[in-house]
Every structure is written in structure tokens, then in C-alpha cells.
Amino acid sequence: MKYLEAIRLALGEALAEDPRVFLYGQDIAGTFGGAFKATKGLTERFPGRVLNAPISEDAMAGLAVGAALEGARPVVEFQFGDFATIAFNQFVNHAATTYWRTGRSVPLVARLPVGGTPGGGPFHCQMPEAWLSHHPGLVVVAPATVADAYFLLKDAIACQDPVMFLEHKYLYYHLEADFDPRRAEHLGLGRAAIRRPGTDCTLISYSGMVHEALKAAEMLSQQHDIEVEVIDLRCLRPLDTETILASIARTGRCVVATEAWPFGGIAAEVLSVVASQGFRWLDAPPVRLCAEDVPVPFHPDLFAAHHPDAERIADLVLETVRF
């Protein structure tokens, strides 16, 4: 099953299981099925519950907040996560704060295709998780596997809080795995996963960069006999600090890899936790590897230079282990 197919499966099951659920987004109804075809085939199965939206992200998010307040379970698809900026007021001033102001839950899900692909440029490749995670009241999720694309979306729709669900667009069609929901491991919201055990360094990532981290860990094992523990954060807010610190206590070293920009990002938040709560276990300075601190370039060669990859991750881990 492909990553995108797991998302479509979760959406279909949520619609079938809960009459309060409806889908809302630009061009998602009918035969088109959205920019990435995540809702293809669902209009015919669930008439009147897969709805096209105007080209107004602010209006889409506002409708979702109102529907959630009235007892519905809206799942809003944005064509690209970059456009969440247009809906920022609705998310951070209304969805995130309403429970704390009124005691009424706002159980909505915003599906945001994020991350880079060569040729996408500065308006279609950004990682908005730092903007969204900064605000109390929002849950921010970034699945990196087929199983998590399915289970975390089901959990997000069931959650009583507003959830920002970040889907890496490169994984939609490039990632596939044997997957049976009845047999696969299901970690809940707020839990990180150890994707590869190790003893020499903790390598922390999320979303699409998890797969580059795993490649780097394999390279280091084969070429340098270094065993890296790879942690997939899965959920960025709340952050599973317990799993992070337990791993640091085992390895004594920490590298965080992400394709987001470095300043004020999730990587910085993780390093803050490690430095302030795990300092006594560290044998080397904790470090991060992020995208270059410039807008995402169009040209594939510049894009490759802009984003971290397995080789650059492996070099930084090697430097940390040899400190």
C-alpha cells in the first residue's frame, strides 16, 4: 500500500464509521479527487459528504471551525501546506483558543501536504510545522510511514482538539509498504517511535527526512561499524520528550535532522530539551542539520544543495561520534 492510499483508506473508514465526518477542500469532490488524488472515489461512496471549497483558505478553515463547534468532524484538505498562512488567523486565534476561552472543543483536522520536491519552488515546498507548533491548543502530526499515515489520521479525526496533519508530498507515491491495519502496530498520538535501535548516537527526525536518517544509519553501520538509534517523532506537539531522553541516556549523543529551516524550528526545540534535561548524559554537543536558511529554490541542483540528505546526515553523526 502506498502512503497516499493509506490516507485514502483512513478517510473512507472515518466517513463510514462516523456520520459527523465530512471532507472539504478545493477540487476534492467528483472525479478529480484533489490535487494529489487523496479523495478519489470517495464522492461516489459518500454523496454529500465530500465537498468542494472556494479558493479561499481562510474561508475553508473558518467553516471548519464553525462546523466543529456545532458537532461535526470536518477534515479540510489544503492543496499545499504553504497556504496554511492564509488560514493562520482561523487556526491560531480561533481553533487553538476556543476550548480555553469557552470550554467547547473544536475537533477539526487540517490536512497539509508539506515538504520539498525538485522543481516545486518557494510556494509549494515549505515545512510549516514550526509556525503551527508554536501555538498552544493545536496538535501537530507528521507521519513518516504508511502505517502512521493511516493510524495517525484516524486518531486525528477522533481527537477532540484541532489537529494539523502534515503529509509529506514526496511520500504520497514514492513510499509503499506491506500494510494490514488489523495486524500493524498502532502507536497513539503523542508517541515517538524508535525506527532503528542503536548505541552510539541518537538520530532524531520526522516526516520525509526519517527515511534519509535511516539510510544514513545503514551507511554508518556498514562503513564505520557505528550503530545509530533513529527516532521518528511522529507527533511534534505534544512532543514525546520521554522517548527522546531515554535514548540520549543510552547513546550519549544527539543529532537532529529535518528539511525545515533552522531558525526557531522543531530541531531547535528538541535540542533545547536534550541540552536542558539530558545534559548529564551527553558525551558530545547536540547538533542539528536543517535546510539552508533561504527560500526553497526551483532548480533541482539547487534544491539538492538546499535539503539535507543521507550522506550529509551521516557525516554529521560521524563527527559527533568522534568528538
Mention every residue, 6+ apart, whose C-beta is less than 8 A from residue 314: 216, 219, 220
Reduced to 3 states (helix: H, G, I; strand: E, B; else coil), residue 275 is helix
Reduced to 3 states (helix: H, G, I; strand: E, B; else coil), residue 37 is coil
Q: Give catalytic status of residue 168 as yes or no.
A: no
- Model pLDDT for residues 227-254, shown as the tens digit of each residue: 999 999 999 999 999 999 999 999 999 9
Q: Which of 67, 79, 77 is nearest to 21 (CA)?
A: 67
Percent of the chain with pLDDT over 70: 100
Report d(CA 236, CA 281) in Å as an integer: 23
- Model pLDDT for residues 280-313, shown as the tens digit of each residue: 999 999 999 999 999 999 999 999 999 999 999 9
- Model pLDDT for residues 63-119, shown as the tens digit of each residue: 999 999 999 999 999 999 999 899 999 999 999 999 999 999 999 999 999 998 888
Grid cell of 206 as nine digits? 520526522
Strands 228-232 and 193-196 come out as antiparallel
Domains of the chain plus CATH, in order, are 3-174 (3.40.50.970), 193-321 (3.40.50.920)
pLDDT at 117: 86
- Active site residue: 94, 124, 168, 306, which one? 124
Q: Mean pLDDT in the chain?
A: 96
Helices and strands: H and E segment counts in the chain: 13, 12
- Model pLDDT for residues 263-276, shown as the tens digit of each residue: 999 999 999 999 99
- Model pLDDT for residues 104-155, shown as the tens digit of each residue: 999 999 999 999 888 888 989 999 999 999 999 999 999 999 999 999 999 9
pLDDT at 216: 98
- Model pLDDT for residues 202-231, shown as the tens digit of each residue: 999 999 999 999 999 999 999 999 999 999
> Does residue 6 register a pLDDT over 90?
yes
> Does residue 162 register a pLDDT over 90?
yes
pLDDT at 119: 86
> Does residue 169 register a pLDDT over 90?
yes
